[in-house]
């Protein structure tokens, strides 16, 4: 089995465990899934962060035009991931109000020092979740 296959299988088992744990409590399962989605979106947005991508692109033996084109595409991918995180934070706020919003922010806290966009995302939504 490949590493990707084992990661996938582990995640399937985790989801099955959640289905059993939250049986008959769909709202709680949805909250858990939203918090997981938020965590994953923030991780991906870190990976696509412009400063990381620029350094990697600069080290690649590419013509300047290709480097610029790829850099532009990666920048838009990063912005797209940030918008996914923004959407999930809004869904969390709508679903659970300020208490759940606080849980979401606390879950993000370990990532906060790596992402400078948190205040922008929150301000853009008009909410501070």
Q: In tens digits, what is the pLDDT along the chain, a chain of 129 residues?
A: 787 788 899 999 999 999 999 999 998 899 889 888 888 887 887 777 777 788 888 899 999 999 999 988 888 888 888 888 888 888 888 887 777 777 777 766 555 544 444 443 443 444 445
pTM, 2 dp:
0.64
One DSSP character per residue, the chain reads --HHHHHHHHHHHHHHHHHHHTTT-HHHHHHHHHHHHHHHHHHHHHHT-HHHHHHHHHHS---HHHHHHHHHHHHHHHHHHHHHHHHHHHHHHHHHHHHHHHHHHHHHHHHHTT-S-HHHHHHHHTS--
């Amino acid at each position: 089995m490949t590493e990707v296959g084992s990661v996938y299988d582990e995640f399937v088992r985790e989801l099955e465990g959640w289905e059993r744990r939250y049986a008959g409590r769909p709202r709680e399962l949805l909250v858990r899934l939203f918090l997981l989605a938020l965590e994953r979106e923030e991780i991906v947005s870190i990976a696509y962060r412009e400063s990381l991508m620029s350094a990697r692109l600069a080290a690649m033996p590419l013509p300047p035009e290709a480097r610029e084109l790829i850099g532009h595409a990666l920048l838009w991918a990063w912005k797209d991931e940030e918008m996914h995180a923004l959407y999930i934070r809004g869904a969390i706020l709508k679903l659970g109000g300020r208490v759940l919003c606080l849980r979401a922010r606390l879950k993000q806290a370990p990532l906060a020092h790596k992402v400078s966009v948190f205040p922008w995302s929150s301000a853009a939504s008009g909410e501070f979740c």
